[in-house]
């Protein structure tokens, strides 16, 4: 059989999930046919226009409206608005025959078995044999849906469960039906990881599969505990948020966002379909949830849930929280616990768990009860929902945004210590856990030679987790492959002659120690290796330069030192470009300010699709001073072509900095000129990023990399450009678009990007531009309003417009 390729998919159903899934396939370059039902009634606008139910616009109204509203929603389901052109819409009556041309049909219609069965019956008539056909059901058993379908259908049918929102949540559960072929399962498993950028998890056909079964257990368990422990909604959110590596929305705020009705629907499904679950009663809804459902307090969609936003007397909005005893909204109370204070200085979340479960206060009690219940539940779900313990962790991390799964947390506490806590809480682990300890494995996971092993229950031994060879997990090699370390970076040997420089600073800010580390990395690579990757696997690539350090020097008026520090930054960036080895930057998440400048100076960028990159220095009252202003001027002139209005091109690059634009995906960064077509590339799966970056470093090295020639041919436009910019900023200030201080910063940037006030267009060197960039940066650091901006950012994390 020829290799299966996915060029075209049909998505059936364009609701919340259908539209999101359609957009995600468009994101990765597939052609999408999105179909939905024909509306049965005309709406007023259609009546007013004299349309009938036979008119095409009416027949496709449902699907077109759904897609349109999805494309407008925030955060956007699509990497780039122009990718929406890859989606064609239609309806299930006129266009169903078109599914014969697609490689994969994904059913995403309402969660009703009767409806899904009719849809599949129709699709079976039109699909070409061999076409993949899958359902996005959250809970209907897969085996029921393919009943009565053709043999070929059943062989190519299974569940493919995306999580909402499809672009952002990484879990992709694959649920085989009774006759799904192995070829199909293996293909989807790989496709999910490699092309969709997901964590593929093959689950058994049990109610709610893996992610929701465990996730809903966790939430229900909290619903039942919160009143018993006398905790408030905001206290539970504090205890179950970032402190334990979970999203900021934690528990109750997440339910508000997802919708209480969605959660209740899944919980009820588990309650009805899992009568033998030892935690069966826990899936029954507590009284306060029933009342909330009756009151339609479903969360964001109905304006109130566990939280409610109101406008106070002073016109300021306030977020109230629900008192679960009185079921009335009241002002939020500050949630603080002594145990949490103890973890404030513990940077790595995984190191906090032993401290949290030893807490002497209510928080300690909460964590002991919670983890004891969770450990018992997850251990008992094997082999019911999966045979492999790591799949439960994978599902929770990818589907719920947890940094660590239950078994990893249990390992962090210590398996035996965990059992001790469980016993004290009246809980017992499944027998295989005690068997594991008896067999000599003292933890669920181990790391050997850079690879992760997990305990295999039938084999009673640690087995290498399959599929990880496409990944490089820095956590696994940081110690064993360390070549150099200082307080800002660790430099690791990635093998095959390639080094990696990994930031270790808070939020991966770039300060003196990181810059020293980068220089050291280039030194080492030039001496003994063939290439260098600058990459990490933290939450963000880098939030930018360490502005705390800049602030201190500026306040103390140590301008010489500040000048040297900025020069050091610039020189380091230039070394990224002008060294004898190829350098590859691997940005992901936030890559702001200095993080963006660093990326722009590497020989190549291997960006994660989810990269939010931009030069945001205006927000702290300065211009990009680490070569970013120079680089944008250089790139603008590189795109000058005969006949182009050069000033307009330059202005576009100027505005990218002046408006502190941040791309909402790597693809948008190409439009901004921050990433460059033909040079930089995008990987959809962040987990593959370092391995891909390494491969590209190797390729460049093997192609005979030589140090680029220093540029002295940068055409700057001088007074001609400066004049235009100054007129522009003046009128913007006059019409109150920007503040006086904004104008001052913009004029400094204008000076740099124009190459100063040269009387005519001139060719200059990069160093010339860097020198005027640094001068402008320094002069802004003497401004009181710039210092206020920096201070505000340091205090609140938000920009101040003064
Ligand atoms: P939705 O209500 O937003 O969309 C349902 C779609 O089904 C609509 O486009 C509707 O027009 C269409 N539809 C209705 N009747 C139909 C019929 N008779 N024939 C064909 N199509 C019909 O629902 P959703 O949230 O997008 O859920 C769709 C599927 O995805 C469900 O199986 C659901 O369980 C699953 N799912 C939902 C989520 C979530 O968070 N919403 C997450 C994962 C999986």
User: Phi/psi of residue 318, each to 5°?
Assistant: -135, 145
283, HSE (Cβ side, Cα atoms, 13 Å): 26
The yes-or-no verdict on residue 639 having pLDDT over 90 is: no
How high is the pLDDT of residue 2? 76
> Is domain 209-335 in CATH 1.10.1040.10, yes or no?
yes
- Strands of the sheet with 328-331, listed across from one edge: 307-311, 317-323, 328-331
Q: Which residues pair with 161 in a beta bridge?
A: 173
Q: Which residues pair with 323 in a beta bridge?
A: 328
| Tokens found for residue 178 | 């009774």
How high is the pLDDT of residue 130? 97
Q: Which residues pair with 173 in a beta bridge?
A: 161, 201
Q: How far is the CA of 109 from the centre of ligand 1 (A)?
A: 4
- Return the SS3 of 2: coil
- Residue with CA nearest ligand 1 atom 29: 108
Q: Cα(667)–Cα(170) distance, rounded to whole angstroms?
A: 19
Q: Cα(101)–Cα(90) distance, rounded to whole angstroms?
A: 14
Query: Residue 519: which residues within 8 A CB-CB, separation 6 or more?
Result: 572, 575
Q: How far is the CA of 139 from the centre of ligand 1 (A)?
A: 12
- Residue with CA nearest ligand 1 atom 44: 138
Task: Count Cβ atoms within 10 A of the Cβ of residue 151 and give its class: 0-12 exposed, 13-18 middle, 19 or more buried.
Answer: exposed
CA 247 to chain centre: 11
Q: How far is the CA of 501 from the centre of ligand 1 (A)?
A: 45
How high is the pLDDT of residue 470? 86
pLDDT, one tens digit per residue, over 235-285 is: 999 999 999 999 999 999 999 998 999 999 999 999 999 999 999 999 999
- Residue with CA nearest ligand 1 atom 3: 15
In the numeric block, the tokens 């160093």 are attached to 767
Confidence at 467, pLDDT banded by 50, 70, 90: confident
pLDDT, one tens digit per residue, over 342-396 is: 999 998 899 999 999 999 999 999 999 999 999 999 999 999 999 999 999 999 9
Q: Which residues pair with 162 in a beta bridge?
A: 172
How high is the pLDDT of residue 315? 83
Mutate to test the pocket of ligand 1, among 12, 15, 165, 171 (most ligand atoms within 8 A of CB): 15
Regarding beta strands 132-135 and 104-107, do their DSSP bridges make them parallel or antiparallel, or are they unpaired?
Answer: parallel
How high is the pLDDT of residue 313? 78
How high is the pLDDT of residue 293? 97
What is the CATH code of the structural domain delimited by 480-616+662-702?
Answer: 3.90.226.10
Q: Cα(635)–Cα(134) distance, rounded to whole angstroms?
A: 46
Is residue 91 within a helix (H) or strand (E), and if so which, with residue range?
A: strand 87-91
How high is the pLDDT of residue 646? 86
Confidence at 312, pLDDT banded by 50, 70, 90: confident
Angle at 674 between CA 614 and CA 580, to 5 degrees: 115
8-202 has which fold?
Rossmann fold (3.40.50)
The yes-or-no verdict on residue 522 having pLDDT over 80 is: yes
Q: How far is the CA of 380 from the centre of ligand 1 (A)?
A: 31
User: Phi/psi of residue 171, each to 5°?
Assistant: -75, 135
Return the closest-CA partner of residue 379 out of 425, 342, 431, 436. 431
Confidence at 402, pLDDT banded by 50, 70, 90: very high
Q: Cα(174)–Cα(176) distance, rounded to whole angstroms?
A: 6
- Ligand 1 pocket, residues with Cβ under 6 angstroms: 13-18, 36-37, 62, 66, 108-111, 115, 119, 136-138, 163-164, 262
Mutate to test the pocket of ligand 1, among 108, 142, 170, 257 (most ligand atoms within 8 A of CB): 108
Q: How far is the CA of 112 from the centre of ligand 1 (A)?
A: 9
Mean pLDDT along residues 592-608: 98
In which region does residue 287 sit, left (phi positive, over 0), alpha (psi from -120 to 50) or beta (all else)?
alpha
Q: How far is the CA of 409 from the centre of ligand 1 (A)?
A: 35
User: Cis omega before residue 461 (within 30°)?
Assistant: no
Q: Cα(118)–Cα(583) distance, rounded to whole angstroms?
A: 55
pTM of the model: 0.94
How high is the pLDDT of residue 1? 62
Q: How far is the CA of 115 from the centre of ligand 1 (A)?
A: 10
pLDDT, one tens digit per residue, over 724-751 is: 999 999 999 999 999 999 999 999 999 9
Residue pair 177/142 in contact (Cβ under 8 Å)? The answer is: yes
Mutate to test the pocket of ligand 1, among 12, 17, 105, 174 (most ligand atoms within 8 A of CB): 17
Mutate to test the pocket of ligand 1, among 67, 110, 207, 209 (most ligand atoms within 8 A of CB): 110
Lowest mean pLDDT among 305-314, 493-502, 597-606, 696-705: 305-314
- Residue with CA nearest ligand 1 atom 15: 110
Return the closest-CA partner of residue 323 out of 364, 370, 291, 371. 291
How high is the pLDDT of residue 640? 81
Residue pair 68/36 in contact (Cβ under 8 Å)? The answer is: no
Lowest mean pLDDT among 151-165, 300-314, 358-372, 681-695: 300-314
pLDDT, one tens digit per residue, over 134-160 is: 999 998 999 999 999 999 999 999 999
Confidence at 691, pLDDT banded by 50, 70, 90: very high
Tell me the pLDDT of the chain averaged across its residues: 96
pLDDT, one tens digit per residue, over 222-246 is: 999 998 999 999 999 999 999 999 9
Q: Is the dihedral of CA 235, 239, 242, 243 positive or negative?
A: positive
DSSP letters for 101-118: G-SEEEE---S-HHHHHH
DSSP letters for 435-503: HHHHTT--SSEEEETTEEEEEETTTTEEEEPTTGGG---HHHHTTTTEEEE-SSEEEEEEETTEEEEEE
Q: How far is the CA of 287 from the centre of ligand 1 (A)?
A: 28
How high is the pLDDT of residue 642? 60
Confidence at 322, pLDDT banded by 50, 70, 90: very high
Residue pair 173/201 in contact (Cβ under 8 Å)? The answer is: yes
Return the closest-CA partner of residue 322 out of 336, 340, 338, 303. 303
Q: How far is the CA of 18 from the centre of ligand 1 (A)?
A: 7
- Residue with CA nearest ligand 1 atom 40: 164
Q: How far is the CA of 116 from the centre of ligand 1 (A)?
A: 10
How high is the pLDDT of residue 634? 96
Q: How far is the CA of 211 from the centre of ligand 1 (A)?
A: 19
DSSP letters for 259-300: -HHHHHHHHHHHHHH-TT-TTGGGGSPPHHHHHHHHTT--BG
Q: How far is the CA of 92 from the centre of ligand 1 (A)?
A: 14
How high is the pLDDT of residue 709? 94
Q: How far is the CA of 176 from the centre of ligand 1 (A)?
A: 21
Cβ neighbour number for residue 341 with a 10 Å cutoff: 12
Q: 617: which DSSP letter?
A: G
pLDDT, one tens digit per residue, over 612-628 is: 999 999 999 999 999 99
Closest ligand 1 atom to the C-alpha of 20? 26
- Residue with CA nearest ligand 1 atom 14: 110
| Tokens found for residue 784 | 């009181």
Q: Cα(582)–Cα(525) distance, rounded to whole angstroms?
A: 9
**Are the folds of 8-202 and 338-431 the same?**
no
Which H, E and C letters describe 171-221, residue by residue? EEEEEECCCCCHHHHHHHHHHHHHCCCCEEEECCCCCCCCHHHHHHHHHHH
- Residue with CA nearest ligand 1 atom 36: 138
How high is the pLDDT of residue 729? 96
- Residue with CA nearest ligand 1 atom 7: 109
| Tokens found for residue 491 | 């430099």
- Residue with CA nearest ligand 1 atom 21: 109
How high is the pLDDT of residue 643? 59
161-190 in b/e form (b: 16+ CB < 10 A) is bbbbbbbebbbbbbbbbeebeeebbebbbe
- Residue with CA nearest ligand 1 atom 35: 137
> Is domain 338-431 in CATH 1.10.1040, yes or no?
yes
Q: Cα(732)–Cα(745) distance, rounded to whole angstroms?
A: 13
Q: How far is the CA of 198 from the centre of ligand 1 (A)?
A: 21
Q: 99: which DSSP letter?
A: G
Question: Could you state, in order of their start, the residue ranges of all structural domains in the chain?
Answer: 8-202, 209-335, 338-431, 480-616+662-702, 619-660+709-802
How high is the pLDDT of residue 520? 98
| Tokens found for residue 764 | 């200059």
Mutate to test the pocket of ligand 1, among 10, 12, 13 (most ligand atoms within 8 A of CB): 13
The yes-or-no verdict on residue 641 having pLDDT over 80 is: no
Q: Cα(507)–Cα(547) distance, rounded to whole angstroms?
A: 12
- Rounded to 10 degrees, the C-alpha dihedral 583/588/594/596 comes to 70
């Amino acid at each position: 059989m020829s290799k299966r390729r996915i060029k075209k998919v049909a998505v059936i159903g364009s609701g919340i999930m259908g539209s999101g899934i359609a957009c995600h396939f468009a994101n990765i370059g597939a052609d999408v046919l999105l179909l939905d039902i024909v509306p049965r009634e005309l709406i007023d606008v259609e009546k007013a226009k004299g349309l009938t139910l036979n008119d095409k616009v009416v027949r496709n109204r449902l699907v077109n409206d759904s897609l349109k509203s999805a494309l407008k929603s925030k955060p956007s389901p699509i990497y780039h608005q122009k990718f929406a052109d890859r989606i064609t819409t239609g309806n299930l009556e006129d266009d169903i025959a078109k599914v014969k041309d697609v490689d994969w049909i994904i059913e995403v219609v309402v969660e009703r078995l009767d409806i899904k069965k009719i849809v599949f019956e129709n699709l079976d008539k039109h699909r070409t044999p061999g076409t993949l056909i899958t359902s996005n059901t959250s809970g209907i058993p897969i085996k029921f849906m393919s009943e009565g379908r053709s043999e070929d259908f059943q062989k190519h049918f299974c569940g493919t469960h995306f999580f909402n929102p499809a672009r952002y949540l990484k879990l992709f559960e694959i649920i085989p039906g009774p006759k799904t072929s192995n070829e199909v399962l293996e293909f989807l498993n790989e496709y999910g990881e490699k092309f969709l950028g997901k964590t593929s998890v093959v689950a058994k056909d049990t109610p709610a599969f893996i992610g929701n079964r465990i996730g809903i257990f966790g939430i229900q368990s909290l619903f039942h505990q919160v009143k018993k422990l006398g905790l408030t909604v905001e206290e539970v959110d504090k205890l179950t948020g970032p402190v334990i590596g979970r999203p900021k929305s934690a528990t109750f705020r997440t339910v508000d966002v997802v919708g209480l009705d969605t959660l209740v629907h899944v919980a009820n499904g588990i309650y009805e379909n899992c009568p033998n679950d030892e935690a069966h009663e826990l899936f029954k809804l507590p009284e306060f949830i029933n009342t909330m459902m009756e009151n339609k307090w479903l969360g964001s969609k109905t304006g109130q849930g566990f939280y409610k936003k109101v406008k106070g007397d002073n016109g300021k909005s306030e977020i109230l929280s629900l008192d679960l005893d009185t079921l009335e909204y009241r002002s939020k109370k500050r949630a603080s616990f002594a145990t949490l204070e103890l973890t404030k200085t513990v940077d790595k979340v995984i190191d906090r768990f032993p401290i949290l479960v030893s807490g002497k206060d209510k928080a300690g009690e909460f964590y002991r009860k919670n983890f004891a219940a969770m450990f018992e539940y997850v251990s008992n779900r094997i082999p019911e929902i999966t045979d492999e313990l790591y799949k439960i962790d994978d599902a929770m991390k990818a589907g719920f945004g947890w940094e660590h799964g239950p078994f990893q947390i249990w390992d962090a506490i210590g398996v035996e210590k965990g059992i001790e806590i469980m016993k004290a809480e009246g809980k017992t682990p499944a027998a295989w856990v005690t068997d594991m300890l008896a067999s000599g494995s003292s933890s669920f996971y181990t790391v050997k030679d850079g690879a992760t092993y997990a305990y295999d229950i039938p084999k009673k031994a640690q087995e290498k987790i399959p599929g990880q060879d496409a990944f490089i997990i820095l956590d696994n090699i940081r110690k064993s492959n360390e070549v150099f370390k200082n307080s800002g970076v660790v430099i690791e040997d990635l093998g095959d002659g390639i080094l990696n420089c990994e930031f270790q600073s808070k939020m991966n800010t770039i300060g003196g120690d990181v810059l020293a580390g980068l220089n050291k990395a280039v030194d080492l690579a030039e001496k003994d290796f063939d290439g260098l990757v600058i990459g990490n696997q933290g939450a963000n690539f880098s939030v930018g330069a360490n502005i705390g350090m800049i602030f201190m020097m500026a306040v103390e008026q140590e301008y010489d030192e500040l000048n040297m520090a900025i020069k050091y930054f610039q020189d380091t960036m230039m070394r990224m470009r002008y060294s004898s080895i190829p350098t590859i930057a691997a940005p992901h998440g936030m890559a702001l300010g200095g993080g963006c400048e660093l990326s722009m100076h590497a020989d190549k960028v291997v960006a994660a699709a989810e990269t939010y990159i931009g030069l945001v220095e205006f927000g702290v009252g300065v211009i990009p001073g680490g070569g970013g202003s120079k680089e944008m001027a250089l790139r603008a002139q590189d795109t000058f072509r005969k006949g182009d209005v050069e000033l307009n091109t330059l202005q576009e690059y100027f505005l990218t900095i002046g408006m502190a634009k941040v791309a909402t995906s790597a693809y948008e960064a190409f439009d901004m000129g921050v990433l460059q077509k033909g040079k930089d590339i995008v990987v959809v799966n962040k987990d593959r990023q370092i391995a891909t970056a390494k491969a590209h470093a190797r390729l460049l090295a093997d192609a005979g990399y030589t140090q680029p020639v220093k540029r002295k041919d940068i055409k700057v436009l001088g007074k001609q450009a400066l004049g235009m910019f100054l007129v522009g900023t003046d009128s913007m200030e006059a019409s109150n678009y920007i503040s006086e201080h904004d104008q001052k910063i913009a004029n400094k940037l204008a000076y740099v990007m124009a190459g100063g006030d040269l009387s005519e267009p001139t060719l200059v060197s990069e160093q010339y531009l860097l020198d005027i960039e640094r001068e402008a940066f320094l002069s802004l650091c003497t401004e009181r309003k710039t210092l206020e901006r920096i201070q505000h950012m340091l205090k609140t994390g938000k920009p101040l417009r003064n």
